[in-house]
Each structure stands twice: as C-alpha cells, then as structure tokens.
Amino acid sequence: METSQGFVVEQLLESGVAVYPISTTSAKAYRQRKVPSGNKTDHVDAWSLADALRVDGHGWKALAKEDPLVAELRLLCRDEVALIEERTALINQLQSALREYYPAALEAFEDWTMPSAWAFVEAFPTPQALASAGKRKWEKFLHTQHLARPQTYQKRMEIFAHAAEFVSGQALTRAKSRLALARARMLRVLQSQIDSYRAQIEKLFAQHPDHDLFGSLPGAGPKIAPRLLGEIGSDRSRFEDPCALQCLAGTAPVSYQSGQIHKVYLRRHCNKLLRHAVHLMGQPESEILSVGRRLLRAAPHTRQEPRLRPTLPRSTLAKNPLENVADRHAL
C-alpha cells in the first residue's frame, strides 16, 4: 500500500494481513518498469506492486501493530500543531487589522502570542478608548496583566499617551476595531483548546515507558519530546541503524554521483512532521550557547565551565541525539 497509516491499514493489521508500505515514488518506478508507455490503471498498479513484492519483497518490512498509546499521542501532537498554525494565522490577521487603524497597539506589544496582548485589544479596542481611559486605568491594566516591568513599563505608558495623535477615520476605526475584537476573542477560545491538548499530551507522554529516554534528548523539552515519541514510535527494531532514522527525519542528505559529478541535495521524501520537530529541537541549544557566550564575555574572571547533566547515563548519550533513540539498547 502507498500509505502506512489510516483506517484501512488498521483494519488490515487487525485481521492479520501482512501490510507492506511503499512510497509513491517507488510505486511509480515499479509501474514504469512494467509499463514504460506511461499507461496507468488500477489493474496495472496492483500488478506492478504484486510483482515488486514477489521480486524484491525479501528486503521489505511489514508493518507491525502500533501501540495504542503512541498512536493517540501522535494524533494529538499533530492536531496540536494544526491548532498552533491556526493561532498563527489568527495573530497575523489581528496584526493586519491593527496596522490599519491602531499602530500604537502594535508598538506597545511585540509578542502577540501572549494573552496579555489580546486582553489589551479587548480592554481598549480603539485609540480613542485608550485615550479616554486615562493613566490610572493604564497602570491598573499593566499591573493586572503582570506587565509592570521596569524595562517596558515607561515605554508603554509613553506609547499609550500618544496613541490618539495619529488615528484613522471613524468608519475605518469602527469597522476594523470590530474585526480586531473578533480575532482577539477567537484567539482566547483557541488558546484554551491548545492548553487542553497540551495537558492531555503531557499526561499520555508521562505514561509511556520511553518517557525518560525522549525527555533526556538535548533540546527536546516537554513540547518536542512527545512529538518525537509519537512520530518515531516505541518499536525501534524497524531502524537498522541511526542513519535509517535520520532518513525518516529528513536530516540525512541525498547524494548524487555520476562520473566526476557529485552533488548533495536536501532530502524531501521524509516525515515532514518529524523533521520539523527535530528542527525545533536544535534551536534552543543554539540559543543557549549564544546566551552563554555573551555571559562569558561579560564576566571573564568569574566564568565557570558549563556542565551537562543528562538523565541517561553518559555512556548511552551519542553525539547525534537521534542515535540515542535508534539504539535498541538505549534503555
């Protein structure tokens, strides 16, 4: 089959049928080997795949029944990513509406994924409403939302004081303020669902026996580790070596060599969600190293050597974090 998941695959596995997944690229190549003219029918597809299984099936691996906990965790993580993408789209739409009539709001808040920014739009939907509220209500709002930090408090107060100096027309302000309010309220509802998904994901992740292994990967964290477990799974016997897992994650390049020509390409046929999780896993480590370098330069005489304290024994930690997952004896 040209898929490795879905209702049909689950029913076939439950009935005891051996299911061999095959990529669409390989299926196309097998079909062209049988029918070079390019003719494509369901009969030709079935014939070419059946003959490919007869000839090359000794090197294929049949799908195994998946752990229900891992399957649920993977689906929840994928749905969570989809909800986060919807939140990003709503934030972009909210910022687009504010840019047309309320530039002071965009200047006052940099991170619009924070609920405090949405609360500001709900409390002061227009520059006129912000100006009429007065300084006392501004201060109360900042203290209520825990935004009274000295680094940003005075700057925000100055922005609020000059918010009504450059405003749009009344028609544009009334129309776009209604749209901005709608987006802010939608973001609140969506964020509550994302938090609910996050709580359930953490609960399921804590129940899995590989919780400590994936949680110990450098840069994984409480959000990335469940995604890695859901996409990689608990059956690591299907990976012959760490390179097989890297190919699945898309971190292993594709090499092309012919005569004196040698090229290296980005691997595009892979698990896109797993590659995204691995990409996110690598970001915090670089940020931590950047912060550490700045601290060492600021205090050269009091610096201390950084020490890693992994949960797993030091002998089981490989240079490539994916090797720890691919190793069957990592636990």
Domain identity same for 219 and 95? no
Asked if residue 322 lies in contact with residue 241, where contact means CB atoms within 8 angstroms, the answer is: no
Q: Is residue 1 part of a domain?
A: no
In the block, residue with structure tokens 């929840």: 76
- Which of 207, 228, 253 is the endpoint of a domain? 207
Domain identity same for 132 and 11? no
Say whether 263 sits in a helix, a strand or coil.
strand
Structural domains counted in the chain: 3
Domain identity same for 160 and 236? no
Q: Is residue 268 part of a domain?
A: yes
Encoded amino acid at 270, one letter = C
Q: CB under 8 Å to 243, separation ≥6 — which residues?
A: 252
Domain identity same for 100 and 226? no
Q: Is residue 64 part of a domain?
A: no
Asked if residue 83 lies in contact with residue 165, where contact means CB atoms within 8 angstroms, the answer is: no
Domain identity same for 200 and 223? no
Residue 281 CA to chain centroid, in angstroms? 9
In the block, residue with structure tokens 């302000």: 173
Domain identity same for 88 and 164? yes
Domain that holds residue 16: 7-59
Q: Quick one: pLDDT at residue 77?
A: 94
Asked if residue 146 lies in contact with residue 152, where contact means CB atoms within 8 angstroms, the answer is: no
- Which of 37, 59, 81 is the endpoint of a domain? 59
Q: Is residue 2 part of a domain?
A: no
Q: Quick one: pLDDT at residue 196?
A: 95
Domain identity same for 98 and 200? yes
pTM of the entire predicted model? 0.74
Domain identity same for 192 and 220? no
Q: CB under 8 Å to 313, separation ≥6 — which residues?
A: none
Q: Is residue 153 part of a domain?
A: yes
Enter the tokens of residue 49: 């795949």
Asked if residue 124 lies in contact with residue 102, where contact means CB atoms within 8 angstroms, the answer is: no
What's the CATH number where 103 sits? 1.10.287
Domain identity same for 83 and 175? yes
Q: Read off the pLDDT of residues 20-42 as tens digits, 9 standing for 90 and up.
A: 888 888 888 888 888 888 888 88
Q: Quick one: pLDDT at residue 54?
A: 86
Q: Is residue 107 part of a domain?
A: yes
Q: Is residue 37 part of a domain?
A: yes
CA angle 46, 52, 55 (to 5 degrees): 140
**d(C-alpha 143, C-alpha 138), whole Å:** 9
Q: Quick one: pLDDT at residue 294?
A: 41
**d(C-alpha 305, C-alpha 293), whole Å:** 12
**d(C-alpha 228, C-alpha 249), whole Å:** 10
Asked if residue 252 lies in contact with residue 323, where contact means CB atoms within 8 angstroms, the answer is: no
In the block, residue with structure tokens 């069957």: 328
- Which of 207, 240, 271 is the endpoint of a domain? 207
Domain identity same for 31 and 14? yes
Count CA atoms closer than 13 A to 287's CA, side-chain side.
7
Domain identity same for 110 and 135? yes
DSSP string across 34-45: H-TT----HHHH
**d(C-alpha 30, C-alpha 15), whole Å:** 27
**Average model confidence (pLDDT) across the chain:** 81
Domain identity same for 78 and 27? no
Q: Quick one: pLDDT at residue 327?
A: 52
Q: CB under 8 Å to 289, separation ≥6 — which residues?
A: none
Per-residue pLDDT of the chain (331 residues), as tens digits, is: 777 777 787 777 778 888 888 888 888 888 888 888 888 888 888 888 888 888 888 877 877 777 889 889 999 999 999 999 999 999 999 999 999 999 999 999 989 999 999 999 999 999 999 989 888 998 999 999 998 888 888 888 998 888 887 777 889 999 999 999 999 999 999 999 999 999 999 999 999 998 888 888 888 888 999 999 998 888 877 788 888 888 888 888 889 899 899 999 888 888 888 888 888 887 644 443 343 344 334 444 444 434 433 444 444 444 555 555 555 444 3
